[in-house]
Amino acid sequence: MASLTHIPGATGLPFIGDTIRFLKKPQELFNKKQEQYGNIFKYQMFGKDYVCIMGAEGNRFVLVEQTKHFSSTDGWELINELFHGGLMLRDGDEHKHHRGILQTAFKKEALQHYLEAMNPVVQEYNKKLVQHAAFKVFPFIKELTLQLAGKVFFNLDFSNNLQHINQAIINMVTASITPFHINLPFTTYGKGMQGRKVLQAYFSTIIKERRQQPGNDMLSNLCLAKDEAGNMLSDDEIIDHLIFFIMAAHDTTASSLTSIIYELAMHQNWQQLLREECRLINSDIATDGRAIHHHLDALEKTGWVIKETLRLHPPLILIPRKAQTDMQFENTHIPAGTNVTVLLFHNHNNSKYWSDPETFDPNRFAPEISEHKKCPHAYAPFGAGQHFCLGHAFADLQMKLVMYHLLKKYMAAAG
């Protein structure tokens, strides 16, 4: 890799660098480095040198304007083996081709089928809450989102395989942040790779059946999807995408829902506002007779709360890329081969873009205010540009569905 001596920053001890500080307190690490070196600096993590570009302008440069010159595949090198073939780990024409086929599974009609399938699962889990005076939110939500993924992706009940599949996903996610990629059975990374094999074997047994007898689940949509030339995804390609999708739908959505519940617990005035919104939706349901999944778009304030929670607690705090050519950002030369990161959480908490940024204020997303539109690319919880999250609409509707039932239950309990 080309020399980075012209870029300010300290890389610390060989190999270790800033890895431990990043794993413990990433926000504190990057904030201190910005104070020392400014908006562009170098650091070392997992044995690699990186250049961090702060600010919305950096997001626009890396993720949008020069996206064809930055590799997502090489940027996510640390997880490439674990999540090989996922959409986020493809570039250029290959990425465009796969994204075009996968979009079939995220069209409006398909989303409505997924929501219809998820609704009774969420209702059933809501009943379990009555049995508990207190419970740990994150494990409960993770169990729920895994069940929802089983229903949406395969139209299967994961109850019998829940622990097995959940542990495989946990092992993969844990392995993705370990600095030691030693693929042995007893290592963290080895357990992650074994988790991938578990998912590969599990998913491969279902694909043949779905190709012959498709339903309304996501796997069926992927088995039938074609590009403009009539080409279809292979079994291995479908498995690669499903492994990545189930990780995102299960792990990151569970994290976001837990953060939403936390913020509503801390700001009970917003709980009440959302309950009032639920009451209005219930009236609409009673009037037209359609189920809740047809009314989720009307949960406007719930949408504001989701957006504000993702601003304060983005599932990803940074996005990595690798420069494919020499480039110039403002007055800084970025050599080809440079590992580059842009920081989502920093932009989301920057007083340059947000009024009172540390305050939980969903009203900032109300149409008459729309702070997130005043500086494009400052708000990017789902990324930006050609790699903007394909499942963002699905994630939004899923979170609205879960929150509607939670609020409705507690509304009913409150009497």
Which residue has better confidence, 321 or 23?
321
CA atoms of 403 and 380, how far apart (whole Å): 22
* Burial grade of 80 (CB within 10 A; 0-12, 13-18, 19 or more): middle
Name the band, by pLDDT with cuts 50, 70 and 90, for residue 411.
Answer: very low
Please report whether residue 297 resides in a domain: no
What total of structural domains would you count in the chain?
1
Mean pLDDT over residues 160-165, rounded? 72
Name the band, by pLDDT with cuts 50, 70 and 90, for residue 128.
Answer: confident
Please report whether residue 77 resides in a domain: yes
- Residues pairing with 320 in the sheet: 341
Largest CA distance in the chain: 67
Task: For residue 331, give its domain range.
Answer: 1-84+317-361
* Burial grade of 106 (CB within 10 A; 0-12, 13-18, 19 or more): middle
pLDDT at 285 (0 to 100)? 83
Strands 327-329 and 318-323: unpaired
pLDDT at 413 (0 to 100)? 41
Q: What percent of the chain has pLDDT over 70?
A: 96
Name the band, by pLDDT with cuts 50, 70 and 90, for residue 1.
Answer: low
| Residue 414 pLDDT greater than 50, yes or no | no
- Residues pairing with 42 in the sheet: 9, 51
Please report whether residue 234 resides in a domain: no
The residues near 210 (Cβ < 8 Å, ≥ 6 apart) are 154, 217, 219, 220, 223
Global confidence as pTM: 0.91
Length of the chain measured in residues? 415
| Residue 106 pLDDT greater than 60, yes or no | yes
pLDDT at 329 (0 to 100)? 93
CA atoms of 87 and 5, how far apart (whole Å): 34
CA atoms of 275 and 413, how far apart (whole Å): 12
Please report whether residue 42 resides in a domain: yes
pLDDT at 286 (0 to 100)? 72
Please spell the DSSP secondary structure of 37-98, one letter per residue: H-SEEEEEETTEEEEEE-SHHHHIIIIIITGGGEEHHHHTGGGTTTTTT-GGG--HHHHHHH
| Residue 320 pLDDT greater than 60, yes or no | yes
Rg (CA), the chain: 22
| Residue 130 pLDDT greater than 80, yes or no | no
pLDDT at 162 (0 to 100)? 67
- The conformational region for residue 38 under phi > 0 = left, psi -120 to 50 = alpha, else beta, is left
Name the band, by pLDDT with cuts 50, 70 and 90, for residue 133.
Answer: low
| Separation in Å, CA 102 to CA 65, 154, 156, 232, 242 | 24, 16, 21, 10, 11
pLDDT at 62 (0 to 100)? 96
| Domain CATH for 80 | 3.30.43.20
Name the band, by pLDDT with cuts 50, 70 and 90, for residue 21.
Answer: confident
Please report whether residue 70 resides in a domain: yes
Mean pLDDT over residues 37-41, rounded? 92
Q: Residue 134 CA to chain centroid, in angstroms? A: 28
| Residue 99 pLDDT greater than 90, yes or no | yes
pLDDT, one tens digit per residue, over 261-304 is 999 999 999 999 999 999 888 877 877 768 888 889 999 999 99
Q: 290: which DSSP letter?
A: -
* Burial grade of 14 (CB within 10 A; 0-12, 13-18, 19 or more): exposed
| Residue 378 pLDDT greater than 90, yes or no | yes
Tokens of 305: 């709360």
pLDDT, one tens digit per residue, over 135-152 is 788 888 988 998 898 888
Please report whether residue 110 resides in a domain: no
Please report whether residue 384 resides in a domain: no
Please report whether residue 372 resides in a domain: no
Q: Minimal CA–CA distance to 261: which of 100, 48, 405, 106? A: 405
pLDDT, one tens digit per residue, over 82-96 is 999 999 999 999 999
E-strand ranges in 208-364 read: 318-323, 327-329, 332-334, 339-343
Which residue has better confidence, 102 or 229?
102
Give the three-class secondary structure for 323: strand
What's the mean pLDDT when you consider all of the chain?
Answer: 89
Q: Minimal CA–CA distance to 86: which of 394, 345, 341, 389? A: 389
